[in-house]
Amino acid sequence: MAPHKIVLRFTSSTSDRPIIYHLVKDYDLVVNIVKAKINPHLEGTMVLDLDGERYEEGIQYLRDQGISVHPLTQEVVRNHDRCTSCGACTVHCPAGALYIERPSMEVQFNGDKCVVCLQCLKVCPVRAMEVRI
Amino acid sequence: MGVERTYKEINARIKAGKAVVLTAEEVIGKVREQGLAKTAAEVDVVTTGTFGPMCSSGAFLNFGHSSPRIRMSKVWLNGVPAYTGIAAVDAYIGATEIAEDDPANNNYPGEFRYGGGHVIEDLVAGKPVKLEALSYGTDCYPRREIETTVTINDINEAILFNPRNAYQNYNCAVNLSDKTIYTYMGTLKPRLGNANYSTSGQLSPLMKDPNFATIGIGTRIFLGGGIGYVVWNGTQHFPGWLKDGEGNIIGSAGGTLAVLGDLKQMKPQWLRGTSFQGYGATLTVGLGIPIPILNEEILRYAALSDEELHAPVVDYSEGYPNRVAGNLGLVSYAQLKSGKIIVQGKEVPTAPLSSYPKAREIAHILKQWIQKGDFLLGEPVQLLPGPAAGLTGKVLEIK
């Protein structure tokens, strides 16, 4: 089974704790830190690949520490400066999130409909579609 | 006998701030509303525009001389090779060039994230570009290698010179095979999954002057956000007419332009490095041409609409790669822009590769330049061959 991709959010009172140490040492979990960031208010975000037999216990430990745990959801965004409104993406979007508004022929992106299939990232000729984690 | 105007008269009106200018989109409604004769009497200039990938593009650069001097025999810009078979510190960076270590289609379909077109966009944006050059060394040019960074302001000349731009019309590409194909017309899904087209239709410069009655050597144009010129016909310039089954003219095709302009006054939003998955890198070029309404006949063509202009539908899985003549029918730009066409009885979703909103913006910018009086029309010193010249393409025989 593939590792779980999760997002942890820390408050200023939890961001100084060695939680990765405990996940590995106490729960025997395999950890890959994809991304980690602490803002000036000492609030933190961490994206993890987490795997191991005691995964559920590890998650419970995190929650008991007051750390919020969510599955990773990627988000596709349009870089408006790069997008030329050509429309090449629109026939490849399976969700109808990218579409041409007529008669202006402007390309529109409805992020609510996006299913994050990432097709648009490949077909956009000017690389205007980006994924945000 | 209708109205007759000369370039001189139109330019005098532009200088006086009195020229009447409409975009190629606006003029359609005007002619529908009040007829050709009255519109021709009123309108001096019609502006066109297109913003699409144009592979036959590139820039001549002169880097200036280092101390000691080098006669550059190999040049790379951000790792992308430039052609140096010209004078010592001159080079030509072509839009479709890619780095020697780019995996290209070895990892099919390749991404082609950075090529010559992207180098040109970075230069125009004023970004520092890494310059590497090698030489065999001569008595007068002893240096054998150099590595530095340059910006467009550091170098002597940067001249955009595109040997084939502004294709008059283009195929609408489809895929009849059972697998996805990756082409210069974008990604084409199997079994007529989509139909990609790439002109701005009723805004497209050469479709609005199909006889080449006004466009020639010396025509001043909008090029990459700056001012450029038509300097010759483009390569593969074979202008002709598209005809329906009964021989009626339903559009034009085959004409191309060679254009040139000072890259230093252009803008990155009108010269975009572009990548086609599985095909290659290129440059999307913004180009607009003013059409002087010298007479009613010129206006008649300049006012053609998407309903009257057509493109051939061509299969890019078999027909195009094997140079098989013929097509799967003709469709109007109005149909293409509606979002679906019918091919072999099947409804096929369409997508443009050329931006219609940007083409419209170019036609409007050009209109404003002319209205403000700071853009005069260039009277061609020689017109380009039109459909009457009967030019056709030669094929390459394997001997």
Closest alpha carbon to A91 in B73, B165, B173: B173
| Phi, psi angle pair for B83, to nearest 5° | -80, 130
Half-sphere exposure of B290 (CA within 13 A, CB side): 36
Residue A115 scores a pLDDT above 80: no
Q: Do A85 and B189 touch (CB under 8 A)?
A: no
Please tell me which residue of chain A has the smallest CA distance to B356: A105
A16 and A64 co-located in one domain: yes
Q: Go through chain B and tell me how many residues it has.
A: 399
Q: Do A105 and B354 touch (CB under 8 A)?
A: no
Euclidean distance between the first and final Cα of chain B, in Å? 56
Q: How confident is the model at residue A112 (pLDDT cuts 50, 70, 90)?
A: confident
A38 and A83 co-located in one domain: no
What rounded mean pLDDT belongs to chain B?
97
**Is A105:A55 a contact under the CB 8 Å cutoff?**
no
pLDDT tens figures, B179-233: 999 999 999 999 999 999 999 999 999 999 999 999 999 999 999 999 999 999 9
Q: Does residue B186 belong to the interface with chain A, where contact is any CB pair within 8 Å?
A: yes
Residue B132 scores a pLDDT above 70: yes
Q: Does residue B220 belong to the interface with chain A, where contact is any CB pair within 8 Å?
A: no
Residues of B in contact with A103 (CB under 8 A): 337
A88 and A58 co-located in one domain: no
Determine the Cα angle at B189 with ends B187 and B193, to 5°. 130
pLDDT tens figures, B61-100: 999 999 999 999 999 999 999 999 999 999 999 999 999 9
A55 and A100 co-located in one domain: no
pLDDT tens figures, A42-76: 778 888 889 999 999 999 999 999 898 888 777 89
Mutate to test the interface with A, among B180, B275, B306 (most CBs of A within 10 A): B275
Which of these three, A43, A71, A99, is where a domain ends?
A71
Q: Higher model confidence: residue B237 or residue B244?
A: B237
Show the 3-state SS of chain A. Answer: CCCEEEEEEECCCCCCCCHHHHHHHCCCCEEEEEEEEECCCCCEEEEEEEECCCHHHHHHHHHHCCCEEEECCCEEEECCCCCCCCCCCCCCCCCCCEEEECCCCEEEECCCCCCCCCHHHHHCCCCCEEEEC
Q: What is the pLDDT of residue B189?
A: 95
A15 and A37 co-located in one domain: yes
pLDDT tens figures, B291-329: 999 999 999 999 999 999 999 999 999 999 999 999 999
Q: Is the dihedral of CA B212, B214, B220, B225 positive or negative?
A: negative
**Is B351:B194 a contact under the CB 8 Å cutoff?**
yes
Which of these three, A71, A101, A117, is where a domain ends?
A71
**Residue A122 amino acid letter:** K
Q: Do B277 and A122 touch (CB under 8 A)?
A: yes
Strand locations in B151-279, DSSP E? Answer: 157-165, 172-174, 181-183, 186-188, 195-197, 216-217, 220-223, 226-233, 240-243, 249-253, 257-262, 271-276
Please tell me which residue of chain A has the smallest CA distance to B185: A88
A87 and A29 co-located in one domain: no
Q: How confident is the model at residue A35 (pLDDT cuts 50, 70, 90)?
A: confident
Mean pLDDT of B338-367: 98
Residues of B in contact with A82 (CB under 8 A): 272
Report d(CA B354, CA B370) in Å as an integer: 24
**Is B176:B191 a contact under the CB 8 Å cutoff?**
yes
A36 and A50 co-located in one domain: yes
Range of the domain at A111: 75-132
Question: CB count, 10 Å around CB of B24?
Answer: 29
Q: What is the pLDDT of residue B1?
A: 58
Residue B156 scores a pLDDT above 90: yes
Q: Do B351 and A126 touch (CB under 8 A)?
A: no
Which of these three, A71, A86, A117, is where a domain ends?
A71
- The tokens describing A123, both together, are 């077909």
- Calculate what percentage of chain A has a pLDDT beyond 90: 54
Report d(CA B194, CA B317) in Å as an integer: 13
What CATH number does residue A36 fall under?
3.30.70.260
Q: What is the pLDDT of residue A111?
A: 86
Query: Mind telling me how many Å the CA of B164 is from chain A's nearest CA?
Result: 20
A109 and A56 co-located in one domain: no
Nearest neighbour of A125 by CB, restricted to B189, B337, B353: B353
Q: Does residue B351 belong to the interface with chain A, where contact is any CB pair within 8 Å?
A: yes
Which spans in chain B are helix H? 7-15, 26-34, 36-42, 116-124, 296-302, 333-338, 356-372
Please tell me which residue of chain A has the smallest CA distance to B50: A86
Nearest neighbour of B277 by CB, restricted to A85, A123, A126: A123
A62 and A89 co-located in one domain: no
Q: Cα A113 to the chain's mean position, in Å? A: 16
Query: Mind telling me how many Å the CA of A48 is from chain B's nearest CA?
Result: 28
A23 and A66 co-located in one domain: yes
| Range scoring the smallest mean pLDDT among A34-48, B3-17, B338-352 | A34-48
Residues of B in contact with A121 (CB under 8 A): none
Sole residue written with tokens 């089974």:
A1
* Catalytic positions of B, written as ranges: 140
Residues of B in contact with A100 (CB under 8 A): 339
Report d(CA A59, CA A63) in Å as an integer: 6
Q: What is the pLDDT of residue A14?
A: 83
- The tokens describing B243, both together, are 């005809």
Complex ipTM? 0.93
**Is B170:B183 a contact under the CB 8 Å cutoff?**
no
Domain count, chain A: 2
Report d(CA A74, CA B194) in Å as an integer: 27
